[in-house]
Amino acid sequence: MKAQLTGNTYKKGLTRRATTEGMATLEILIAFAVLILCISAVIMVAFGNQSVAVDSQINSEAISKAQKMLEDARASSRGNWDKVVSFSQSDNFYTEDLEIGNVDDFIKSVSSKVSWQIDGRIHNVELSSMFTDWKNASTQGACADTAENTWANPSIAGLVNLGITGPATGVDVKDGIAYVTADGDGTAPDFFVIDVVSNPPQILHTLDTGPGLVGIRVSGDYAYVANTSSSNQLQVIDLNSLTKKIYKLPGSTNGNTSSIYYYNHKVYLGTATSAIAEFHIIDVGDISDIHEIGTFELGLKVNNIYVSNGYAFLATPDNNEELKILDVRNPAHIELLPGFDAPGSNGNGEGLARKNNKIFLGRALGNIELYVLDINNMENGALTSQNIDSSIKAMATMGNLVFLATTDTTKEFQVWKLSGGSSSFSFTSSLDLTGKATSIDCEGQTMYVTIEDPTNGLNIISSN
């Protein structure tokens, strides 16, 4: 009986020992599992931190590259506004893209983007900014950005009698002073400085430049005028002293000037058909050293010029392409780009204007005279057009309104509204002036129109 009890006790001891040893083994295994998990977690955290550090370094480097692209473009814009253009480049890891959008003549939208690929995923950083060509903008008068009034009832706020017999041909208004040109006979004034703020307007100064003038652009202290003479096509008038400097186109024996535009220290001059080129780029950055830096042979007259962001838009009498476009970013190598051929064989290109990415073309009487095109999609044709029933000599824009200087004998001044996402024009108002309109300009909310009748050579028009 005792031996049996001892055996049971022994068996129980063995069972207890086995259980205890099993639990110890299990604890050891659990401890190893926890240790392995801890080590794995440490390793993962370590490698994760390394990965985060690498990603952070790559991202910081990409941001630095994007910032450098912006600053390089900004610095370049100060030296040559027209040559700031979009580009894309890549190395073995990063791809850099600079995208330039032309908001208007003096404002560019700029976006710098740097992208890279890791494990099949594309990452990128992007920075944006707006550049302003404030130096040139400060020398140019301009229409208001928006039309504060509907222009449903425009009225003549002032008239200026030029006291000559020839027609007024051009006007440029800066800081309340209108600079007006006229086509004369060489014996009467053809250049006028007029205070348009005083009531009534007052002629402050006049000047006789020669045979007559066909157009004007003013910048800073100088007026750049196109003369009808074939020997002094460009004249630069110092507005402080009213002295002038004459420049003759090299090699010209004929080909009177027909149009003029100033932009970024350069004069763009158009002539009638001549033995030399009809389009000229003249550097006037140093008045003591005026010189030609580029020409282009068109074989036809240049009726009007508008230049913006390295491109020249020309209104011409070519029935197959009334609007011609030249890439003038490199004046020494001007390139002809595809232009616009208005439907129908009648109606020369005459008036030009721009608003943001829209270019407006006005034609001589015949078929449809008014067109608006997207500068970035010229190949798609006109966004919309409108029959005016008169020739459009010049145009100006304000907000979604376009102002026309026309040859209509009862509606020389017309206002049209561009609406429907640039899909249609609607007539707003008109004025009957005493002669056919020849040019138009605006400053703020006021329009200035010259007409052929010199007794009312300059018309000052308000919105009500």
Greater pLDDT, 102 or 146 = 146
Q: How many helices (DSSP H) and strands (DSSP E) are in the chain?
A: 2, 32
Residues 359-388 have a mean pLDDT of: 92
Residues 71-90 have a mean pLDDT of: 82
Residue 1 banded pLDDT, cuts 50, 70, 90: very low
In one-letter notation, the amino acid at residue 11 is K
pLDDT digits (tens, 9 = 90+) for 231-240: 889 999 999 9
Domains of the chain, first to last: 2-136 (no CATH), 141-462 (2.130.10.10)
If pLDDT is split at 50, 70 and 90, which confidence band does 12 have? low
| Predicted pLDDT at 2 | 46
Whole-number Å distance between alpha carbons of 59 and 65: 10
Confidence band, pLDDT 50/70/90 cuts, at residue 372 = very high
Tell me, what's the pLDDT at 43? 63
CA distance linking residue 325 with residue 335, whole number of Å: 9
Are 231 and 248 in contact by the 8 Å Cβ rule? The answer is yes
What is the rounded average pLDDT of the residues 193-202?
96
Both tokens of 242, joined, read 């009213």
User: DSSP readout, 410-432?
Assistant: S-SEEEEEEETTTTEEEEEEEE-
Mean pLDDT of 195-208: 96
Q: pTM of the entire structure?
A: 0.78
User: According to the model, what pLDDT value does residue 141 have?
Assistant: 53
